[in-house]
Amino acid sequence: MAFLDHIDACNRHDLNRFRPFIVGGRQVGWVRGDIAWHLEEYEAVFAVTPDAVHLQRHLSEPEARSQAVDQVCRALHAKWQTPPLRGERYRVARTWGEEPVMTMDRGVVSLFGVRAFGVHVNGFVRDGERLKLWVAKRAPERAVAPGKLDNLIAGGQPAHLSLRDNLIKEAAEEADVPAALAQTARPVGVISYCVEDQWGLKPDVMFCYDLELPPDFTPRNTDGEVESFALMEVDEVMARIRDTQDFKANVNLVILDFLIRHGVLCPDNEPDYAAIAHGLKRGW
């Protein structure tokens, strides 16, 4: 394997298989052709053409749009076993700063190719001149990437929370990080990618943070989503990303960004350095 393999894996998609998803005259996602065919049945909510899938114009308010799409998604799940609703709302917008046109249940965002946002936190410790990273191992019961290695803290972005509030919430749930310590996490950049999954498209954006932790801090999971934690030398983490698929796919990108920013991965030791740096924002 190579570092670039992980970037390529997170950007495998063919937009020729998708139609734009239009809400209020704005494209906010992508719907695969077979899903568009299923949506034709729900004419009160969707207007499906060969070129696009439109939310009907009479659904002009965000709440009405959200409720109508939820109702269709429940019917699709019952009839075609598409993903179920999960009870967590995501904002629907082309960019983070844009006013959302509606919200959508987390379980079906890829069905409509809506951009999902999330926070990822690199929890690290300084040992003299060396860096170590706290790495989580996902619980085997997780629906996505069971048993894979993960960032210390990570989570999708609920519609009703700020990024900072979500970070503090996830830090408490996933690693028992006190709020005062989580508040010191520093925003360091954005990573984007676009990948097909079983049901559609994931044009996702991850807001990245660095959290320097005291040497005597030991994380403890409180929500059952993490099996264990390990404090790893940064060179070991880099080698495992380069040589294995041990980490959850998108987490490889977050850590590659960390390695670049901290000078661990540099042009003198990695011939694909420029392509890696560029590829971390390929999804835009």
DSSP 228: E
Query: 284: pLDDT confidence band, cut at 50, 70 and 90?
Result: low
Q: Which of 56, 81, 112 is the last residue of a domain?
A: 112
Q: How far apart are CA 167 and CA 196, in angstroms?
A: 26
What's the CA gap between 220 and 226, in Å, rounded? 9
Instruction: With H, G, I as helix, E, B as strand and everything else as coil, classify residue 110.
Output: helix
State how far the alpha carbon of 139 is from the alpha carbons of 91, 155, 198, 241, in Å.
27, 15, 22, 20
Check pLDDT > 90 for residue 64: yes
For residue range 211-268, list pLDDT tens digits in order. 999 999 999 999 999 999 999 999 999 999 999 999 999 999 999 999 999 999 999 9
| Of residues 106, 175, 163, the one with CA closest to residue 138 | 175
What is the DSSP code (8-state) at residue 208?
A: E
Q: Which domain holds residue 231?
A: 3-10+116-279
Of 57, 88, 112, the position where a domain reaches its end is 112
Number of domains composing the chain: 2
DSSP string, 125-175: EEETTEEEEEEEEE-TT-SSSTT-EE-SEEEE--TTS-HHHHHHHHHHHHH
**3-class SS at 90?**
strand
Average pLDDT over residues 58-86: 98
Helix (H, G, I), strand (E, B) or coil at 69: helix
Residues 130, 69 share a domain: no
What is the model's pLDDT at position 283? 84
Indicate if 141 and 261 belong to the same structural domain.
yes
pLDDT of residue 165: 98
Same domain for 78 and 159? no
Question: Is 284 part of a structural domain of the chain?
Answer: no
Question: Residue 142: phi, psi to the nearest 5?
Answer: -65, 140
What Rg do the C-alpha atoms of the chain give, in angstroms?
20
- Alpha-carbon torsion (6, 96, 133, 268), positive or negative: positive
Please give the mean pLDDT across all residues of the chain.
97
Evaluate whether residue 245 is within a structural domain: yes
d(CA 106, CA 88): 6
Question: Residue 30's CB: how many other CB atoms inside 10 A?
Answer: 25
Residue 67 has which token pair? 């409720």
pLDDT, one tens digit per residue, over 20-41 is 999 999 999 999 999 999 999 9
My answer on whether 58 and 129 are in the same domain is: no
- Which pLDDT does position 1 carry in this prediction? 81
Summarised one tens digit per residue, pLDDT across range 81-109 is 999 999 999 999 999 999 999 999 999 99
What CATH number did the domain enclosing 90 receive?
Answer: 3.30.750.160
Q: Per-residue pLDDT tens for 174-215?
A: 999 999 999 999 999 999 999 999 999 999 999 999 999 999
Contacts of 165 (CB under 8 A, 6+ apart): none
Share of the chain above pLDDT 70, in %: 100
